[in-house]
Amino acid sequence: MPKAFVLINAEIGAEDKVVDELKKIENVKEVYAVYGAYDVIAKVESDNMDKVKETITWKIRRLENVRSTLTMIVIES
């Protein structure tokens, strides 16, 4: 099953809002607020790669308090 991890930088003080919004998105399976270079990590999973890419591009990256993202697509073995 295609999946990706999305590392997210949020607006300062808006990390909890971003986490709450991500949990509402259909193909987002796990969400964590983290310390370090990024503020939030989301695991996106769907039955095909197009849906994974669509979720990241049109839903996650367009959330109001998301400043930037880094996507890591999982290699299927």
**pLDDT one-digit tens code per residue, 10-67:** 999 999 999 999 999 999 999 999 999 999 999 999 999 999 999 999 999 999 999 9
Number of independent structural domains in the chain: 1
Query: Is 77's pLDDT higher than 90?
Result: no
| C-alpha closest to that of 6 among 64, 75, 72 | 72
- Specify the CATH number for the domain of residue 26: 3.30.70.920
Residue 68 and residue 9 in contact, taking contact as beta carbons nearer than 8 Å? yes
- What is the residue range of 23's domain? 3-73
